[in-house]
Amino acid sequence: MAVYSQKFYRLLYEWYEINHRVLPWRETSNPYYIWLSEIILQQTRVAQGMDYYHRFVTAYPRIEMLAAADEDDVLRLWQGLGYYSRARNLHKAAKMIVDRQKTKDKRQKTEVEFPDTFEGLRALPGVGDYTAGAIASFAYNLPYPALDGNVYRVLARLFDCDEAFDTSAGKKHFHRLAEQLLDVNLPRLFNSAIMEFGALHCLPSSPDCAACPLQTFCRAYAAGTVELLPVRKPRPTLRDRYFSYTIYICSRKTKDKRQKTKDKRQKTKVESGNVYTLIHQRREKDIWQHLYEFPLIEHASEAEWQSYQPATSSAAISLTHILSHQRLHARFFLVPVDELPAIAETIAVRWQELDDYALSRLTLKALETIPV
């Protein structure tokens, strides 16, 4: 049975025409906007990504503006979305594209040219095969498949393929299946439709097979294996880490010399009645590089973490935060002080101005529960 018959495409496109969501990045062929949306939507649901897409398009309507932005501002706009390397790569790629144009055209009179080949897109930081295929097809209607998680699931079921899709051999195999299925005459429409079909109809659990327009083409449906597919490789064990954060709370009228640090946003005059705290920027090549958080002690073991208690803390908030390969166990100790202590590499900030800094997701979660 050939899955890729004309009838298959007709049924898929009819379904898409009736059911697709109106998404701003599908209503444009501007490669810069499509690229922004694709980077934002990596590991992010559409409902959450929509707000960030609008933020970026509003703040940086042209790629030159993103390239000229301060990295801290880009990270702040990204705040809450997680996986901050995506924001750093976004910024790096924008600068690469604009710098390349400047080399070509010293006075930069012409419009910045966004890469318009699969290879050119794939060479950008943060752009893998999926993202390059998506931009190539959505912006330029080029015949490249775009395999996101939804498409892997649809392919696994249509072809009744039980190979793990997230191994390198599995990826190659699924890529071949996607190339077989791709409608080379209408790649933009095909990729939009198959992705949307996976996102809205061929769901991970209990897909509506009874009402599926592609049912007669679905080998997994015929074989009764729908719920078993797709297959993933076994998950890696998570590494546990143990963090103790100290949140200093200082409300005394005080003239803090650190207000004069070189941080250009640190212009606030200390005023009576305001609450101040200390934060520091993570520098090391680890999670959340360049983001801000409260002063941290990382413990070597769970026992050490459990027994740690700062002398004057009034309360502690416990949170667990899961990253792709790590499970973070964190406690945030609230420590009221008359004067902020001198701790290397920290800066004093007004509590109300914490929002001006790009904070880690874990820090944001803690702030939601702190009664200051």
**So which residues are the catalytic ones?**
38
Q: Tell me the closest approach of the beta carbon of residue 217 to ligand SF4, in angstroms.
A: 7
Q: Does 12 bind ligand SF4 (CB under 6 A)?
A: no
Q: Which of 76, 86, 91, 157 binds ligand SF4 (CB under 6 A)?
A: 157
**3-state SS, residue 23:** coil
> Who's near 132: CB < 8 A, 6+ residues apart?
118, 121, 122, 144
Taking the C-alpha atoms of residue 35 and residue 116, their distance in angstroms, rounded to an integer, is 12
Tell which residue, 230, 63, 258, has the closest CA to residue 149: 230
CB of 284 to ligand SF4, least distance (A): 45
> According to the binding rule CB under 6 A, does residue 78 interact with ligand SF4?
no
CA distances from 346 to 153, 267, 362 (A): 47, 16, 18
The contact pattern for ligand SF4, residues 44-73, with x = CB under 6 A and - = no contact, is ------------------------------
- With a CB cutoff of 8 Å and minimum separation 6, the contacts of 202 are 150, 153, 154, 157, 212
H-state helical runs in 60-141:
63-68, 71-78, 85-104, 118-122, 129-140
Q: Which is nearer to ligand SF4, 215 or 352 (CB)?
A: 215
Q: From the CB of 25, what's the least distance to ligand SF4, in Å?
A: 25
Would you tell me how many other CB atoms lie within 10 Å of the CB of residue 65? 12
Binding mask 212-251 for ligand SF4 (x = CB under 6 A): x-xx--x-xx----x-------------------------
186-215 binders of ligand SF4 (CB under 6 A): 201-202, 207, 209, 212, 214-215
When the beta carbons of 36 and 178 are compared against ligand SF4, the nearer one is: 178
Amino acid, single-letter form, for residue 145:
P
Query: Considering beta carbons, is residue 142 or 156 the nearer one to ligand SF4?
Result: 156
Note whether 146 binds ligand SF4 by CB under 6 A. no
Size of the site for ligand SF4 (CB under 6 A): 13
Q: State yes or no: residue 156 binds ligand SF4 (CB under 6 A).
A: no
Residue of 286, 299, 297 lying closest to 242 (CA atoms): 299
Q: First-to-last CA distance in the chain?
A: 65
Site for ligand SF4, rule CB under 6 A: 157-158, 201-202, 207, 209, 212, 214-215, 218, 220-221, 226
